[in-house]
Amino acid sequence: MPSPVKRLHHLDAARALLLLLGLPFHVATKAIFESEPPAVDFQQSMLIGGWASLTHVFRMFAFFMLAGYFAGMIRERNGTKAWLAERTRRLGLPFAASLITLGALQFRLQDLLLHKPSPSFLGLPLALDHLWFLIVLMGFCVTYAAVPVERLNPGNGVKRAMLLDGPGGLALLACLALWGLVRYATELAPAIPNAPSETLLWQQYVFHAAGFALGVLAWHGQLGERLFALRNRWIIPGITVLLMLYVPLDPLIRPALGKEIYPDLAGTLTLRALELPLAYLMSLGLFRLLAWAVRGPNKVVTFFVDGALAIYLFHLAWAMIVLPQARALPLPAEAQWLFSACAVLLLAVLSYLVVRTTTLTSILFCGALRKPAPTSPASASPAQVG
């Protein structure tokens, strides 16, 4: 019998926001790391570097944490087989459709407009780029499906640790720090020959497993209502202290601080150890903020929830088209970046509005049919990212 669950409207906002935060981030990284010549003025900007650093540290962790939570919810509600079939449709179809269309387009645009060749995927002229998250998420779903549900019953100690209650909270943060060092170990492992995109996939799978696992445990421990609106006096001080240590080591902002892009070995190890504890605290802080700000259904939130996947899938191709035009404008780097991000958001939203007009393109790029009419809060569908 599925457990009764209170609908947490602010998680709708969270799952849309976490994907949309990727738009200005990717505009910046495309300009800095994947253009020739690179946008040095972007890299040396405190505003651009600060935004990229602060959002990058928690955005995907929080996304996969939510994905794990909703995976537990839908699996319990529908059963494992039906849930996996639904995941294949809502994740697998958009991935395949995007790879053979947008992936092919982005592979060409990377060379044509940004003048820096894109790595291929599976030996084909396809750019994996931001589509990696769909493969990793499908990998997590398959892994989770193989674990018997009865083994996923966190004890009181684990639940208290996740709520940062007592010494267990520090132990959890320490475990996350150790898992960050595991990420560093994966980076030292030999890469798959001539396959940088494929190498990235398994590294991202290992690194983001922590967030997905915590989300799954949050569901099975019935912690959702408390964890995703957690009141804890140590969250803000913890974020502040860890950020003070993290920011000077982050390659995304070091050039703006007048430092070499990469820290030394000690700095790199420290960076990797700080990432996941900081991501967990910042995710909890964001969820708490949204719980305060979003108290019920909202038409704007609903629009972006329904369109977040398609908007995210289309945005990178638009970023490649917009960036060369924006960088040619006689404006400061910050203005070029903001103009590009706003233009990319607008064009990606328009792309979503176009693809949702037909049944086929809606299924392929939105992961689901457009809702024919607004539904009541009690009957609204669970999160798409689950």
Taking Cα atoms as reference points, which of 1, 2, 6, 4 lies closest to residue 228?
A: 6
Cα separation, 246 vs 173, in Å, equals 15
- Structure-token pair, residue 117: 């060749």
- Distant-in-sequence, close-in-space partners of 368: CB < 8 Å, separation ≥ 6: 90, 362, 381, 384
The two structure tokens encoding residue 171: 């132990």
Read off the tokens for 26.
């990717």
As a dihedral over the C-alpha atoms of residue 75, residue 76, residue 82, residue 88, rounded to 10 degrees, the angle is: -10
User: What residues does 121 pair with on adjacent strands?
Assistant: 124
- Residue 253 is encoded by which pair of tokens? 């902002």
For residue 187, count other CB atoms closer than 10 A to its CB. 14
| Residue in 100, 148, 115 with CA at minimum distance from that of residue 36 | 115
Residues 6+ apart with CB under 8 A from 216: 68, 69, 71, 72, 144, 152
Widest distance between CA atoms in the chain:
62
Q: 3-state class of 320 per DSSP?
A: helix
Give the residue among 228, 215, 370, 230 at the shortest CA–CA distance from 302.
370
Q: Note whether 213 and 161 are within 8 A (CB).
A: no
CA atoms of 262 and 248, how far apart (whole Å): 10
* pLDDT tens, the chain, 386 aa long: 444 566 788 998 898 899 899 999 999 999 999 999 999 999 999 999 999 999 999 999 999 999 999 999 999 999 999 999 999 999 999 999 999 999 999 999 999 999 999 999 999 999 999 999 999 999 999 999 999 988 899 999 999 999 999 999 999 999 999 999 999 999 999 999 989 999 999 999 999 999 999 999 999 999 999 999 999 999 999 999 999 999 999 999 999 999 999 999 999 999 999 999 999 999 999 999 999 998 878 888 889 989 999 999 999 999 999 999 999 999 999 999 999 999 999 999 999 999 999 999 999 999 887 655 444 333 333 434 44
| 33, burial (CB in 10 Å: exposed 0-12, middle 13-18, buried 19+) | middle
CA quadruple 151, 152, 153, 156: dihedral, nearest 10:
120
Amino acid at position 259, single letter: K
